[in-house]
Amino acid sequence: MKIKDLTNFLLKKYPVIKQETWDRCGIIVKAKLNQTLVNCLVCLDVNSKVVNYACQNKTNLIISHHPLFKNKINQPILNKLKLNKITYISLHTCFDNSKKGMNFLIANKLKLQKICWVKHNKSYFPFGCFTQKKTIREIIALFKKNFYCPYIFTNVKNKNKPFKYLALCAGTGYQCLIKKSNKIKQKNFLFVTGDLKYHNWMEINENKLNFLDVGHELENFFVEYFVQEIKRNFPQIKIKKFFSKQTKFLID
């Protein structure tokens, strides 16, 4: 089997045309697409550790969620991929913007019910509900159990406050959620996203909204999903996986 057989399959299912205008999806490093696919590596991010791991395991195709953008910091990593003839493809917002993309998978894992899919630009995110109310403490535990979310931040002071409804936009989805927040009438609605900034929290509190910041590593879910996706369609392919860990730490 050739590298292009897999990349063509993935880009047909998640076409680059679906990406956001600021994004960089598709084949980022094009080595020898006609080369036999030895094994592939699926990861959330590409960094020097990922590339070193790929080289050590004779990987000649890397599939990541987040792309590497061209800049001085990333250029040595891109150069090493080219030097080692490793093809590199990113399926970021072209996957996220699929109706069965990242938000769909997470909502399904959370077992949200009565989902209403809201469109923002090219992306879709869910407004749904739990079968029964859950406290903020229980919801945090749910995310920590099912996803890689070591640190979760919230502006909900009462950890026993119950919530029935949830709006979710994985990654950095504050703008998506806040622009649709005026459509939400329920007082016990919880918004979930990642990487909230200081001024985001200011706006959230000013508008008396309830938010959870579960971090970007929530999207490690991408790795497991695509490993299974490839195995279902190409069982003969050898696959390695690499999970991103928390990039910031709490010091006692």
Pair 160, 122: CB distance under 8 Å: no
Q: Which tokens in the block code for residue 138?
A: 């229980």
Please check whether the domain covering 102-214 is classified as CATH 3.40.50.720: no
- DSSP H or E run through 249: none
pTM metric for this prediction? 0.92
β-pair type (40-43, 61-64): parallel
Query: What are the structural domain ranges in the chain?
Result: 3-95+219-242, 102-214
The DSSP code sequence of 63-107 is: EESSPPPPSTTTHHHHHHHHHTT-EEEE-SHHHHTSTTSHHHHHH
Pair 170, 217: CB distance under 8 Å: no
pLDDT score of 60: 96
Cα 50 from Cα 40, distance rounded (Å): 12
Pair 217, 149: CB distance under 8 Å: yes
pLDDT score of 184: 65
pLDDT score of 174: 94
- pLDDT under 70: residue ranges of the chain: 183-187, 246-252
At a CB cut-off of 8 Å and minimum separation 6, what does 191 contact?
A: 166, 167, 168, 177, 181, 209, 210, 211, 212
pLDDT score of 237: 95
Q: Which tokens in the block code for residue 106?
A: 């997470």
Q: Do domains 3-95+219-242 and 102-214 have the same CATH topology?
A: yes
pLDDT score of 186: 56
CATH class label, 3-95+219-242: alpha beta
Pair 167, 191: CB distance under 8 Å: yes
pLDDT score of 182: 72
